[in-house]
Structure formats: C-alpha cells, structure tokens
C-alpha cells in the first residue's frame, strides 16, 4: 500500500526541549488509514495534525471499541533516530484487536507507516537527556450506528508527541496506593489487551489515590484482591532478598515490552528473576523482615520508575527515598541502548 503525504502549510514552532512535559504537544502531521469490509485497510495517508470530525453515533463514543499503543523514537548522539522493539508493539496491536473484534492490521506495513511518519517529523525528536518522541498509534470503531455489534468500519491513526519524563518526579521514586476496593481486570476479561476501556475503568481508583497524595495505583488481582498485578501505566518488579519478582502473565496484566526487556537484561546479568504470584501479604512480610530491597515499575512512558512507598490500607510500606542500584542500572542500560550510547547487543533497536 502506498502512503500519500499531504504536508502542512503552517508548521508549528518546536517546543523548548528543557521544558517538555508528557503528552501535551503534538507534531505537524499524523498518519491515518481506514478499514471497511470491502477494501480492508486502505487509503494510507499522512495529513496535517488536526481535529477529526465524526458522526455523534460513532461506535467508539458509545461502546469503547478502541485500542492503543505507546512507543518512542529516540535521537542518538550521531544524529540517527531509532525505535525500541517496535515490532513488539505491532504484534500487541493485533493481540488487542483480536480481543475486541477489530480486524488485524498488517504489522509490517503499520511499522512502515510509523517509520514514515517519524521520518517526516525528524526535527521533532528531542535530543535533551530523558526526552523522546512518544508515538501513539490507536484504532477506533467508526460505524455510525447505535446497535451493539462489532463495527464494520475503523480508523488506524498515529500521532506523535515530544515528551520528557512521565511522572513529574522524573526518575525519582514515586509513591503508590494499593487499591483494595476497585479492580482493573479479571481472568477472561480484557486486562492483557491495550483497550481504551481498561484505562477508563482504572480512573476512579487513580483519582482516589491522587486525593491521598499518591501518583498511581497498584492493582491487586480481581478475584481475591490478594496478589499484586501491575500499576496504572506500568508493570512492577520487587526485589526480595536476591530474587527479583514480577507477576506472571495470566491474562489480567499488560504484557509490557519494557517488562520483557528488563527480565532479559536481569537474566543476562545473572540476577535471579521469577515470574510468579506475589501476594501483598508476602510483600508486607518481606518489608517487615527487612528483606524488601527495591521496587520499581517499568513502561514505555515511565521507563524505569522506582517506587518510594506503598500505601496498603493502614500500612505504609516504605521502600526507599532514593533510586536503588538495580533500578539505576536498569535505567542507565535501557536508556543507553535506546539512545544508542550503549551497544545494542540484543538487537532491540530499529533505525528510522
Ligand atoms: N501496564 C499498563 C497498564 C500500561 O499501560 C503499560 C504501558 O504501556 C505497561 C504496563 C507497560 O508496557 P510497555 O512496557 O510495553 O510500555
Ligand atoms: C505507555 O507507557 O506507553 C502507556 O501507554 C502508558 C499510558 C497510559 C500513558
């Protein structure tokens, strides 16, 4: 499929790189392609970034048939631009699509589209330390019909946003609220897919946590509220003694690409990593016994985010006010590979 390019006549001014936040500024162009049952995915185009117009009856507004991805483009010191394991994001789009009946995309073509858009917007990839160009592909159901059924028509859209750290804390530890009332996902649900609805369902708990002064929520399993699952926008790792533990993929948490990469890095360093169930009681007990060494979240937006403390009911599990050595080493290695300052021995990066 060809990608047509319609360039803007009114390019925007680039932001001050030393003052970037997360997800507030968008580049000059976006990628769009349409789907209908007759033509499949078609009409791939890059157009000026701007508002889109939809019928008020459009399916996505009512029943939330939408998925999204989050990935980043990084500037290297020698002027190149690279993506990090982008084929994994494309694969995950199709996993998410499958769960909520969106037709599959051609993963190779979709990655080509992302690269073409990023290439056109090269000047927007920030170079300052800790910054990157966040890439947000998403798919929405576009039938204008109020009956509840699988939509026939869709749009795949990619927008770009120059960003700095996701949390205002930067890479300093964040404090997290353990949610014991609401749940995010249950087995058989959509937890493993990156569907918009998962995030809508998470907002009430996030709001509650924010009111108590916590930046995000640590979700427990949806059945017993006993086992640790993941954080609002990241997977979690806990070091207890010499074992680094992350919850297993059993359909309720997002299979994070950063999570997978962190496990591969840790194993390459001969650190003992376990994907296993971890109850909040075990975590609390490890804390009381002085065995809880480090905790951190992993995600594209969040990178490696050390966890300072967990609030669990009336208990405060204080981990550290400072970033621990493991989180620091992971952050340095991961961002080093992503930005090309460290050799990519894993073959994770893809040049644009
Ligand atoms: N879990 C949730 C709920 C997320 O939104 C994210 C962010 O994408 C992650 C985990 C981390 O996934 P990844 O490392 O692929 O960005
Ligand atoms: C990402 O890390 O890319 C995410 O999708 C998190 C998002 C909720 C901001």
Any domain includes 44: yes
Verify whether ligand 2 is closer than 6 Å to residue 196 (CB atom): no
Band of pLDDT at residue 65, cut at 50, 70 and 90: very high
* pTM of the predicted protein model: 0.96
Any domain includes 210: yes
Are 159 and 228 members of one domain? no
Residue 100 is part of which domain span?
Answer: 4-163
Verify whether ligand 2 is closer than 6 Å to residue 301 (CB atom): yes
Q: What pLDDT was estimated at residue 213?
A: 94
Atom nearest to 23 CA in ligand 2: 9
Atom nearest to 72 CA in ligand 2: 3
Residue 288 sits in a domain whose CATH number is: 3.20.10.10
Q: What pLDDT was estimated at residue 168?
A: 73
Q: Are 93 and 66 in contact (CB under 8 A)?
A: no
Distance of CA 156 to the CA centre of its chain: 18
Are 71 and 212 members of one domain? no
- The string of pLDDT tens digits covering residues 216-246 is 999 999 999 999 999 999 999 999 999 999 9
Any domain includes 224: yes
Band of pLDDT at residue 83, cut at 50, 70 and 90: very high
Q: State in Å: Cα 200 to ligand 2 middle.
A: 13
What percent of the chain is modeled with pLDDT above 70?
Answer: 100
Structure tokens at 284: 């609390």
Any domain includes 301: yes
Residue 138 belongs to what H/E stretch?
strand 132-141
Verify whether ligand 1 is closer than 6 Å to residue 234 (CB atom): yes
Q: What pLDDT was estimated at residue 167?
A: 78
Are 193 and 321 members of one domain? yes
Q: What pLDDT was estimated at residue 169?
A: 72
- The string of pLDDT tens digits covering residues 277-320 is 999 999 999 999 999 999 999 999 999 999 999 999 999 999 99
Atom nearest to 302 CA in ligand 2: 2
Q: What pLDDT was estimated at residue 203?
A: 96
Verify whether ligand 2 is closer than 6 Å to residue 233 (CB atom): yes
Q: What pLDDT was estimated at residue 166?
A: 84
Q: Among 163, 196, 221, where does a domain finish?
A: 163
Q: Among 103, 129, 163, where does a domain finish?
A: 163
Taking residues 165-180, report their average pLDDT.
87
Q: Are 85 and 348 in contact (CB under 8 A)?
A: yes
| Whether the predicted pLDDT of 174 surpasses 90 | yes
Least confident span in 153-157, 166-170, 186-190 = 166-170
Are 183 and 324 members of one domain? yes
Are 53 and 132 members of one domain? yes
Residue 28 sits in a domain whose CATH number is: 3.30.470.10
Band of pLDDT at residue 165, cut at 50, 70 and 90: confident
Are 149 and 11 members of one domain? yes
| Whether the predicted pLDDT of 269 surpasses 90 | yes
Structure tokens at 13: 């001014």
User: How much is the mean pLDDT over the chain?
Assistant: 96
Verify whether ligand 1 is closer than 6 Å to residue 254 (CB atom): yes
Distance CA 289, CA 284 (A): 9
Band of pLDDT at residue 191, cut at 50, 70 and 90: very high
Atom nearest to 198 CA in ligand 1: 3
Q: State in Å: Cα 201 to ligand 2 middle.
A: 15
Any domain includes 345: no
Total number of domains constituting the chain: 2
Helix axes 86-99, 257-268, angle to 10 degrees: 130
Verify whether ligand 1 is closer than 6 Å to residue 300 (CB atom): yes
Q: What pLDDT was estimated at residue 60?
A: 98
Are 126 and 198 members of one domain? no
What SS3 class is residue 102? coil
Atom nearest to 194 CA in ligand 1: 5
Are 150 and 120 members of one domain? yes
Are 197 and 159 members of one domain? no
Are 22 and 122 members of one domain? yes
Verify whether ligand 2 is closer than 6 Å to residue 335 (CB atom): no
Q: Among 163, 191, 208, where does a domain finish?
A: 163
Any domain includes 169: no
Distance CA 311, CA 199 (A): 21
Distance CA 159, CA 111 (A): 13
Are 180 and 71 members of one domain? no
Distance CA 29, CA 160 (A): 8
Any domain includes 168: no
Distance CA 75, CA 83 (A): 9
What SS3 class is residue 302? coil
Are 146 and 227 members of one domain? no
Taking residues 20-35, report their average pLDDT.
96
Any domain includes 63: yes
Task: Give nearest CA residue, ligand 2 atom 3.
Answer: 70
Verify whether ligand 2 is closer than 6 Å to residue 137 (CB atom): no
Verify whether ligand 2 is closer than 6 Å to residue 67 (CB atom): no
Q: What pLDDT was estimated at residue 170?
A: 72
């Amino acid at each position: 499929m060809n990608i047509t390019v319609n360039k803007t006549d009114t390019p925007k001014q680039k932001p001050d790189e030393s003052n970037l936040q997360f997800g507030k500024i968008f580049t000059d162009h976006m990628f769009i392609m349409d789907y209908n049952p007759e033509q499949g995915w078609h009409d791939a185009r890059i157009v000026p970034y701007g508002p889109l117009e939809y019928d008020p009856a459009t399916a996505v507004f009512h029943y939330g048939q939408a998925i999204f991805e989050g990935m980043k483009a990084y500037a290297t010191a020698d002027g190149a631009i690279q993506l990090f394991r982008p084929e994994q994001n494309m694969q995950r789009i199709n996993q998410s699509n499958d769960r909520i009946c969106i037709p599959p995309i051609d993963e190779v073509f979709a990655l080509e589209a992302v690269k073409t858009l990023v290439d056109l917007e090269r000047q927007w990839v920030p170079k300052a330390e800790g910054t990157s160009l966040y890439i947000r592909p998403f798919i929405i159901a576009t039938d204008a019909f109020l009956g509840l059924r699988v939509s026939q028509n869709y749009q795949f859209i990619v927008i770009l946003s120059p960003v700095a750290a996701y949390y205002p804390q930067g890479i300093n530890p964040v404090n997290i609220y353990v949610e014991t009332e609401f749940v995010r996902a249950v087995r058989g649900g959509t937890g493993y897919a990156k569907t918009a609805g998962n995030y809508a369902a998470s907002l009430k708990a996030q709001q509650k946590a924010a009111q108590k002064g916590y930046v995000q929520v640590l979700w427990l399993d949806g059945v017993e509220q006993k086992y640790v699952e993941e954080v609002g926008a990241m997977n979690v790792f806990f070091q207890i003694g010499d074992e680094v533990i992350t919850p297993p993929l059993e359909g309720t948490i997002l299979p994070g690409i950063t999570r997978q990469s962190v496990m591969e890095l840790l194993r390459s360093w001969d650190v003992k990593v376990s994907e296993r169930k971890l109850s909040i009681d075990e975590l609390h007990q490890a804390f009381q016994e002085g065995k809880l060494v480090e905790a951190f979240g992993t995600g594209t937006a969040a990178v490696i985010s050390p966890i300072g403390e967990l609030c669990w009911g009336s208990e405060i599990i204080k981990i550290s006010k400072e970033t621990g050595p493991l989180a620091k080493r992971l952050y340095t290695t991961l961002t080093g590979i992503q930005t090309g300052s460290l050799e990519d021995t894993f073959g994770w990066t893809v040049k644009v």
